[in-house]
Amino acid sequence: MREFAFELAVCAAIEAESDGVVARQLGTRSRVVDVVEIEPGPEFDARTEITSEAIPGPAIESDVGVGRARRATAAIDADPGRAESIADRAVEIGFFEAERRGRKRVVRQATRYPDWIGGLTAIENKPDLGRPGDLERQLRKDVSLSLFDEIVLVTGSYVTGAHLNRIPDPVGVRRFDAETGSFETVREPSRLRSDSAGIAILEESAAKTDIEPIGPERKARMRRRIAERAYGKGWRPEALPGCERAAPRGPPFGPEDALPYCEWKERFVDPARECGPECPEYAPTEPPAVDPDALRDRRTGWKADPGGVARRQAGLGRFGEDEDGE
């Protein structure tokens, strides 16, 4: 579990030096990435005004526009039930507005989707390079797909030339001191061709390798979906364990935070994996009152409770008939 504490410390340090958003444990086509950093694009502020949540990809990619209302089932590329639930969610978070046309609901975008994604960096944490596990193969997968603009390996180990030789060339390497929160750049990352086609390596065995070519348009969709999930998720655990031994704490460097520290284990713990009746020292109580969203709001450009754009749109009825004529 040392990796979990290392990851929290890495996230705290990256957040402190970033003007974008940081999130943990996001799935891509071929694997789950430890940490993702989204650099802000020119319309980042406009994105923060819409919603604090992730906007569903199919809603962004749909034919629902700003100026004309349409039925979700006609405009969202999904089966009817799923299209309606995607529209429900988009309305709930304020990206779509809904109105009735006769007995049918129609939706339109409350605002144009902004150009807020400046760049994506994938960060792979490996506190101890002496126990590399699958590291080399995972990084090769990431470079092959090139979904991110940059890939960086962060480690607590001293990095030797032999280590560097095993890490694919485009991958940057930073050494991290989890006590001080400081980084030392060992090797700068190379910019990947994230706007070109890539190859997702799905399964590898001695006998065969399953691959899937991913074209530029699909890749752009995947990048936007990752950025949206990162925007909505962040990196702090949502709640602390309901245990008398749990207390909120920040990493050794920097200000206080809402990270789950266990006074019995004398380290940060992963509540989902370590806490509960299975733990011999578990002493149930109300979880400590912490507000990770308030901290994220204070320390980043992300807004926990934006005013929203849907309510500012005046006169839904001023738009013309939707193209379904309903």
| Residues that bind ligand SF4 in the complex, under the rule CB under 6 A | 241, 243, 245-246, 262, 264-265, 269, 274-275, 279, 281-282
Is the four-CA dihedral 310, 229, 142, 187 of positive or negative sign? positive
Please, which residue, 7 or 97, has the CB nearer to ligand SF4? 7
- With CA atoms as reference, report the closest residue to 148 among 107, 117, 104: 117
Q: Minimum Å distance from CB 262 to ligand SF4?
A: 3
Q: Which is nearer to ligand SF4, 244 or 324 (CB)?
A: 244
CB of 242 to ligand SF4, least distance (A): 9
Name the maximum alpha-carbon separation found in the chain: 70
| CB nearer ligand SF4, residue 44 or residue 261 | 261
Q: What is the DSSP letter of 235?
A: S
User: Which has the closest alpha carbon to 247: 288, 291, 294?
Assistant: 288
Q: Which is nearer to ligand SF4, 84 or 270 (CB)?
A: 270
Q: How far apart are CB 293 and ligand SF4 at their closest, in Å?
A: 22
Whole-angstrom CA distances from 38 to 97, 118, 302 are 27, 7, 11
Q: How many CA atoms lie within 13 A of 214 on its CB side?
A: 26
User: Cβ of residue 292: shortest distance to ligand SF4, in angstroms?
Assistant: 17
Neighbours of 245 (CB within 10 A): 17
Nearest approach, Cβ of residue 253 and ligand SF4 (Å) = 22
Nearer to ligand SF4, 117 or 262 (CB): 262
Q: How many angstroms separate the first and last alpha carbons of the chain?
A: 57
CB of 272 to ligand SF4, least distance (A): 11
**Closer CB to ligand SF4, 172 or 260, in the complex:** 260
> Which class for 20: exposed (0-12), middle (13-18), buried (19 or more C-beta within 10 A)?
buried
CA 189 to each of CA 155, 159, 171, 223: distance values in angstroms, whole numbers, following the listed order: 14, 15, 5, 19
Instruction: State which residue, 212 or 281, has the beta carbon closest to ligand SF4.
Output: 281
Closest by Cα among 69, 54, 116, 56 to 321: 69
Q: At closest approach, how far in Å is the CB of 263 from ligand SF4?
A: 7
